[in-house]
Amino acid sequence: MSQQAHYSDITASQFQTEVLERSMQVPVLVDFWADWCQPCKMLMPILQNLAEEYAGQFFLAKVNTDVEQALAAQAGVRSLPTVMLFKNGQVVDHFMGVQPESEIRALLDRHIPKPEASPLEIARDIGASGDHANALEHIRALRAASPDDESLKIDEARELMALGDLEAAEALLQTLPLDLHETAEVAPLKATLLLAQLQKLGEDPKAEAAPAQMLVQGCAQLLNGQAESGFETLLQLMRQHPKFADSAARQALVAGFTMIGNDPVVTTYRKRMMALLY
């Protein structure tokens, strides 16, 4: 028997252990093939690559029907290639002929157990659904159970910001250790907080009316997901009032770039900002 980590050729004498018994632990995909079958030769590399990619989530057993004719007949194979998926000793799915890789993946994914989500993943999913108060409760429970896990502060700050408690979020981020301050997770949060602060600065009744209004509008647009509109407003402010509020327009633009991250719109407007500066 030629043996690989996640697939092998099997014989009738090995079918009990390599398919039926093994399928009690992990799904087993059985490929009935023959050397003269051209579609079989097209399908087998796809199945072997999937077996390697899934890395033990299923096992591929290959049956040469020219050698194992009795086994193929017992399995009810009428055409080649025929592929059967065994779980708990029983056939739970099958297909005949060459199928697109996407269809085979879909078949496998229907039957391969999905790993259970971690408590943090559950909390993040709750937040992603919009229930930020519930997500915050879950994360605080995780922090209480793992007080040394400083990274949980990032998740708590994110939910606090979603709930509008920016002061609490900022205070929490300030307690992070230095190695976490400029991570890919923290930098966008700090940029969002800066935009909110700049927006509040523009709302100061003592500020010059016209540029202040543009600052408030541009920051609000960015915070509300209107990236292009926000950048246009802030570029206009930068052209007309470059020194307003200690170059607030430039600060807001840079914060917007950081908050949004790797996006073509950021590349475009960063170049336009640099053109104004130099």
Catalytic residues: 37, 40
Instruction: Please name the amino acid found at residue 84.
Output: M
- In the DSSP assignment, the letter for residue 22 is G
Burial state string for 14-35 with b = 16 or more CB within 10 A and e = fewer than 16: bbeebbeebbeebbbbbbbbbe
| Distance of alpha carbon 70 from alpha carbon 66, whole angstroms | 9
Give, in order, the Cα–Cα distances in Å from 19 to each of 4, 109, 252.
Answer: 15, 19, 62
From CA 135, how far away is CA 124, in angstroms rounded? Answer: 7
DSSP E strands, the chain: 7-9, 28-33, 59-64, 82-87, 90-96
The radius of gyration computed from the CA coordinates of the chain, to the nearest angstrom, equals 29
